């Protein structure tokens, strides 16, 4: 059937900067993307729960409406911040990513259709959520099902991109691109791992809203804090079960990387686990004492470290999967200095302008 050297060859263009530059940009922008994605997905899940609860708890509807207004902002943030890691992923791992995408071409293409529909759904809920009828809830459910599917398809594609040995059989079974990577043992735990992380961050989003409302309307703020804080704690606790399942589903040699074989990977896992436990304890204390500042500043502080270490672990895991097929030394490097410097200057200016725009808008409470 397929030749052993079936990994597609690189194209003739050299890498326009050293390998590590792209690696760094990939990890940093992925980290930002995943933060935005967590806010969108977690916020959406909690909004859905709140809408459902609002049939019995009148207060839930207000939180639902507050959350619903944020979703049409978090989705474009996720997409916009996703473009950069997608770009840098293609720079380094295009040979793997394009191939796995083609093997599951139609489902992958459908991601676009799903995002567009989910996005319009979010706008509908944000503009019409206040109406007494139940349509907003149904539309939100529809959007969230699409978002789940998108996440599931991402999990399929990225795991498939790390499993070249499966490509040929899947491709020749369906050159029309109707394959998925359902036999991948890590698929479901991996997907659930991302999902739960998002719910936890969605809980933190409510805690942030609690801070914003603390002076104006303390009753409402307390409600936000309690609901969000508990959502965070429950999701993070469940993460211990799912995280262990994820770890156990990895092939033994890869699992052992995080359990002693690679000290750096092991340290990251310990930071992740320790940070998770620490964050739960901090949140629990903050809820008991109603210390909204601790919940809104210390917990996210710890969580940022946890997510950063998870992003690094994910990268280590990818490179371990691809080790038999991928050699970073394969690239010829010829740095395009002028454009690289222009990018860095514009990037810096863009970040400053972005913060200024948000500041002048009053998002940091200065107005």
Partner 1 sequence: MNYPVWEVSFGAGFLIAAVGILHVFVSHFAVGGGLFLVLTERRARRNNDQALLGWLKAHTKFFVLVTVVFGAISGVGIWFTIGLIGPTATSNLIHAYVWGWAIEWVFFFVEITAALLYLYGWEKLDARLHEWYGWIYFIAAFLSMVIINGIITFMLTSGNWVKTHEFWQGFFNPTYFPSLAFRFAIALALAGIYALITASVQQDAALKARLVRWSACWIVPALVVLPALGWWYIRWIPADVWVNARGPTPTATHYALFAVVLVSVTFVLALLTLVRPGRMHLAFSLLVALVALGAMGSFEFVREAIRKPYVISKYLYANSLYAAKMPGDGGFSVDEVNANGILKAAKWISQRDLSKGDQAMVGREIFRVECESCHTTDAYRGVKHYLALRQWDQNKMQAMLGGLDLMHNGVMPPFAGTDAERAALAAYLNTVHPVSAEAAAAASDGQAVFDQNCSMCHRAKAGEPLFKELPRDSTAAIKALKDLTGLFPAMPDLKLSEPQRVALVRWVDTQRPVKGSGSTAPGGSK
Residue 285 structure tokens:
């204390």
Give the interface segment with partner 1, choosing from 36-44, 133-141, 191-199, 337-345 (CB under 8 A).
337-345
Which among 30, 22, 153 is positioned nearest to 85, based on CA atoms? 30
Sorted by sequence, the CB contacts under 8 Å of residue 39 that are 6+ apart come out as 70, 74, 77, 78, 201, 202, 205
**Least distance from partner 1 to the Cβ atom of residue 15, Å:** 7
Long-range contacts of 289-297 (CB under 8 A, 24+ apart): 290/222, 290/225, 292/207, 292/210, 292/211, 292/214, 292/221, 292/225, 293/211, 295/207, 295/210, 295/225, 295/229, 296/204, 296/207, 296/208, 296/210, 296/211
Q: Does 333 bind partner 1 (CB under 8 A)?
A: no
Q: Does 119 bind partner 1 (CB under 8 A)?
A: yes
**Least distance from partner 1 to the Cβ atom of residue 153, Å:** 11
Q: Does 15 bind partner 1 (CB under 8 A)?
A: yes
CA 164 centroid distance within chain: 24
Q: Does 167 bind partner 1 (CB under 8 A)?
A: yes
Q: Does 362 bind partner 1 (CB under 8 A)?
A: yes
By beta-carbon proximity to partner 1, the closer residue of 127 and 264 is: 127
Q: What single DSSP character describes residue 9?
A: P
Query: In the window 341-360, what residues touch partner 1 (CB under 8 A)?
Result: 342-343, 346-347, 350, 353-354, 357-358, 360
Q: Does 365 bind partner 1 (CB under 8 A)?
A: no
By beta-carbon proximity to partner 1, the closer residue of 103 and 292 is: 103
Which of 31, 152, 171, 191 touches partner 1 (CB under 8 A)? 171
Which of 18, 55, 112, 364 touches partner 1 (CB under 8 A)? 112
Which of 116, 241, 259, 323 touches partner 1 (CB under 8 A)? 116
**b/e sequence 151-182, b meaning 16+ C-beta within 10 Å:** bbbbbbbbbbbbbbebbeebbeeeeebebbbe
Give the interface segment with partner 1, choosing from 7-15, 59-67, 148-156, 250-258 (CB under 8 A).
7-15
Query: In the window 303-332, what residues touch partner 1 (CB under 8 A)?
Result: 332
Q: Does 27 bind partner 1 (CB under 8 A)?
A: no
Q: Does 165 bind partner 1 (CB under 8 A)?
A: no
Q: Does 244 bind partner 1 (CB under 8 A)?
A: no
N-term to C-term CA, the chain: 66
By beta-carbon proximity to partner 1, the closer residue of 76 and 185 is: 76
Q: What is the DSSP string of 19-31?
A: HHHHHHHHHHHHH
User: Residue with structure tokens 């944020």?
Assistant: 70
Give the largest CA-CA distance in the chain.
Answer: 69
Q: What single DSSP character describes residue 6?
A: -
Q: Does 177 bind partner 1 (CB under 8 A)?
A: yes
Residue 158 structure tokens:
């990225």
Interface with partner 1 (CB under 8 A), residue total: 72
By beta-carbon proximity to partner 1, the closer residue of 108 and 227 is: 108
Query: In the window 46-105, what residues touch partner 1 (CB under 8 A)?
Result: 73, 76, 79-84, 86-88, 90-91, 94-95, 97-99, 101-103, 105
Q: Does 3 bind partner 1 (CB under 8 A)?
A: yes
Find the angle CA(217)-CA(75)-CA(99) to the nearest 5 degrees.
155
């Amino acid at each position: 059937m397929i030749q052993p050297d079936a990994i597609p060859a690189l194209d003739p263009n050299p890498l326009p900067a050293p390998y590590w530059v792209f690696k760094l940009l990939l990890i940093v922008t992925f980290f930002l993307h995943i933060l935005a994605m967590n806010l969108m997905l977690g916020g959406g899940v909690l909004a859905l729960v709140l809408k459902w609860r609002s049939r019995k708890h009148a207060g839930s509807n207000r939180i639902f409406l507050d959350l619903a207004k944020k979703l049409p902002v978090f989705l474009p943030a996720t997409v916009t911040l996703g473009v950069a890691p997608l770009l840098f992923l293609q720079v380094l791992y295009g040979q793997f990513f394009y191939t796995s995408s083609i093997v599951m071409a139609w489902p992958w293409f459908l991601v676009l259709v799903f995002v567009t529909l989910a996005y319009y759904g979010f706008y509908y809920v944000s503009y019409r959520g206040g109406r007494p009828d139940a349509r907003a809830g149904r539309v939100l459910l529809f959007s969230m099902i699409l978002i789940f599917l998108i996440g599931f398809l991402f999990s399929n594609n990225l795991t498939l991109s790390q499993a070249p040995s499966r490509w040929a059989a899947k491709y020749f079974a369906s050159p029309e691109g109707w394959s998925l990577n359902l036999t991948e043992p890590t698929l479901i735990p991996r997907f659930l791992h991302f999902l739960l992380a998002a719910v936890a961050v969605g809980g933190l989003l409510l805690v942030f809203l609690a801070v914003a409302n603390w002076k104006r309307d303390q009753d409402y703020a307390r409600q936000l804090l309690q609901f969000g804080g508990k959502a965070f704690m429950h999701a993070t606790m469940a993460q211990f079960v799912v995280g262990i399942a994820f770890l156990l589903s990895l092939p033994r040699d890869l699992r052992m990387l995080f359990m002693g074989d690679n000290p750096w990977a092991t340290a990251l896992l310990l930071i992740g686990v320790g940070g998770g436990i620490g964050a739960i304890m901090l949140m629990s204390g903050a809820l008991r004492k109603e210390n909204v500042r601790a919940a809104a500043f210390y917990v996210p502080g710890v969580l940022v470290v946890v997510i950063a270490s998870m992003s690094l672990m994910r990268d280590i895991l990818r490179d371990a999967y691809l080790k038999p097929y991928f050699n970073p030394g394969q690239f010829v490097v010829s740095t395009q200095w002028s454009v690289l410097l222009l990018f860095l200057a514009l990037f810096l200016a863009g970040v400053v302008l972005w913060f200024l725009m948000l500041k002048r808008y009053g998002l940091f409470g200065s107005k």
